Amino acid sequence: MEEYDSLISLTDSMASDFLFIDGKKIDVPDAGKFFNKLNELIKEADSRKIFQLKNVAVGLNSLLEKMVLNEIDDEEAGFNAFEKGIILMQNISESFKNTGGYEGGIEVFEELIPTLMGEQPAAGNEQPATSVVDAQDESLLRDFIIEGIEYIDEIEINILNLEQAPENKDYINNIFRPFHSIKGVASFLNLEQIRGLAHSLETLLDRARSGELVVTSHLIDVILDGADSLKAMIVKLRDDLEGNPAKPLKVDLPALIARIESVSDGEPDVQERKKVGEILVEEGVVTEKVLEQELDVAKQTIPPKKIGEILIAGGKATPKQVSQALRKQADQVMDTAAIRVNIKKLDDLIDMVGEMVITQSMIRQNRIVQSNSDSKLTKNIAQLSSITSELQRTSTSLRMVPIKQTFQRMSRLVRDLAKDAGKTVSVIMEGEDTEIDRNMVDEIYNPLVHMIRNAVDHGIEFPEEQVKLGKTEKGIIQLRAYHRGGNIVIEISDNGKGLDKDSILKKAVEKGIVDGSHDLPDQDIYRLVFHPGLSTAKKVTDISGRGVGMDVVRQAVEKLRGKIEINSVYGKGTTVSARFPLTMAIINGMVVRIGNEKYIIPTTAIRKLLRPARELYNKVIDKGETINIMGKLLPLVRLYNLFGIEPEYKDPWDAVIVVVEGQNRSKCLLVDEIIGGEEVVIKNLGKGLKSVKGVSGGAIMGGGNVGLILDTEGLFELSESLG
């Protein structure tokens, strides 16, 4: 009988989930799934008057609570009893489907449950509304908080994907499951507000999944607001648990529930689903007129063909263009096995590996060791160096995470800002799988946010302006990440109005930042926007335009040993590139000596090493000292003058020249000797030396002394300020 199919489906699903549990231990996420299904079984069995099934499900529910709380003395017996209960429920469901009843008994199972649990309340009684903290078991609540925040992040990623491809049921399922899991565990922990909100959102998604509701922008808005509210409630739980100062929860739950119910009732929305043809029109591949004509052709073919095939066959679009449009409707889902590790433990591990690298370097450079002729000792030290380097690389990679989640947060920000500004903006992401040190993720967030705000507020025009200028109606912001050398480069590009060089220069002259009598290269003009208070915005908005920000962005980027550059074409758009080191812990450097001091120059900044011939040295009036490097005169920077050191050599033809690059320009650094390349562990110099220009950090050298890590762009500025 079909009326019992849903019961059979639920019991079979529980049996399937049970098979994949490892180690005879049910954790909180697994328990959440079982609690949800048991609750559904209890309700359905009660409505169908199948009391044997209901009683078994109620008994399993009570047993599961005790198992998760570690209140069962014989864990293996409890685990086996849970399995027997699932099999019993399967038998009861199958029997009702085949015969309309169940002749077997459940008395043995009903006696087994109280025995395992000891003296417990009778099955089916309401549990007191106490929290897990009251039960003196904080670990379950902590697990739920960590899982819950991860679930919300997963929801946000998939809801943005769903907005791009509303017809994709996989995205709906990927959003439905985390809400379902949150609801199940919250129910077990008696977190009624969280459970109720998650249940309302789950119901809304279930209707969209079954095709009763169309995925519209209004539905997307409600789900995003619901996810934000759940996250705020879970974060407040964490704050309460950790004893942080109480903050008011700014969630209007009744109003949000009312909005969800309104959308669930089918409130109309005029926004249509995004299709491949529409994407091709937005990209300017075909016109709307051509699309309409080809759609008519596609409908008349037998069997009907897809619009992409018709456009390719008619030469209206290339396979690559159609492929790119299709790619925008899908998103790769990476499923990797993972284990959660406390980040402090991971940081401690990396710190200890760093100390081991320093100690290994000290041993290798010890004079006694170096003078020892024992070949076995030499071989062992070389092996130790190899293992240490590999361990260092492996441990550092553990802290690397894809930048995808940060990009998704940026995409969400663009959506919200564009909506508030009355603009329509599409986000294109490239290189989301590029990895970055997780300790840098939070640090780079604020600079990226400000750059995104500028792009939406000052860069992208309103839809009607875009069309007048021959652009697509939707503005485009592209987020791109890639590795270059020892750095990660993050680019934010827009197809907006671009920077007005004349306006920037005029404002800079008015403020006395530059002298208007000299012609400045474009790059130097664009760099002026990083000066404090230099804003060319014609009006102040809630988003930006107060003349504060880009200088703060530069400071934030440089604090991370990063660099920022701007390129723009007026009327076409702007690209802001920020370059950061891959990790804050380790760099590859070239150790150099000046007098008795050793310094480290990051290898990513070095372009050439040489001892120049005397005739390559020039001293030009008003230009200073230069070295002719392959036909180009590059300024000479005498580091001993900058740091007040007595050098071994003062003449460039006796010393060594290190050609370094920074801010799209190169200079020659004068040093006494190149000692060699070395991977060094970066150490913070503390507050006293943090603001010293030209120095970005320190490192403990093999001999135990400290070497300063040089910042090339800071050296450039320092040398120019000293003339």
Look up residue 619 and give its two tokens: 């001293």
Residues near 266 by beta carbon (within 8 Å), at least 6 away in sequence = 212, 213
Look up residue 416 and give its two tokens: 């919200």
Instruction: Say if residues 187 and 239 touch (Cβ distance below 8 Å).
Output: no
- How far apart CA 713 and CA 498 sit, in angstroms, is 26
Which of helix, strand or coil describes residue 30?
A: helix
Name the catalytic one among 36, 174, 180, 491.
Answer: 180
Instruction: Say if residues 11 and 93 touch (Cβ distance below 8 Å).
Output: yes
Residues near 397 by beta carbon (within 8 Å), at least 6 away in sequence = 435
- Around Cβ 355, how many Cβ atoms within 10 Å? 12
- How far apart CA 358 and CA 362 sit, in angstroms, is 6
Look up residue 214 and give its two tokens: 């169309």
| 531 phi/psi in degrees, rounded to 5 | -75, 140
- CA distance to 385, 628, 677, per residue, from 2 (Å): 69, 88, 74
Strands 425-430, 606-610: pairing is: unpaired
Look up residue 121 and give its two tokens: 């309340």
Instruction: Say if residues 312 and 322 touch (Cβ distance below 8 Å).
Output: yes
- How far apart CA 333 and CA 404 sit, in angstroms, is 11
Name the catalytic one among 202, 432, 491, 597.
Answer: 202
Tell me if residue 454 is catalytic: yes
- How far apart CA 546 and CA 537 sit, in angstroms, is 8
Q: Is 357 exposed, middle or buried (0-12, 13-18, 19+ CB in 10 A)?
A: buried
- How far apart CA 44 and CA 196 sit, in angstroms, is 19
What is the per-residue burial (b if ≥16 Cβ within 10 Å, else e) of 506-537?
Answer: ebbeeeeebeeeeebeeeebbbbbbbeebbbe
- How far apart CA 595 and CA 646 sit, in angstroms, is 6
- How far apart CA 643 and CA 409 sit, in angstroms, is 43
- Around Cβ 312, how many Cβ atoms within 10 Å? 17
- How far apart CA 562 and CA 587 sit, in angstroms, is 13
Instruction: Say if residues 466 and 473 touch (Cβ distance below 8 Å).
Output: yes
Best CA proximity match to 231, nearest among 192, 158, 188, 179: 179
Q: Is 140 exposed, middle or buried (0-12, 13-18, 19+ CB in 10 A)?
A: buried
- Unique residue bearing structure tokens 């020039």: 618
- Unique residue bearing structure tokens 């492996």: 394
Name the catalytic one among 61, 454, 487, 495.
Answer: 454
- Residues serving a catalytic function are 180, 202, 454
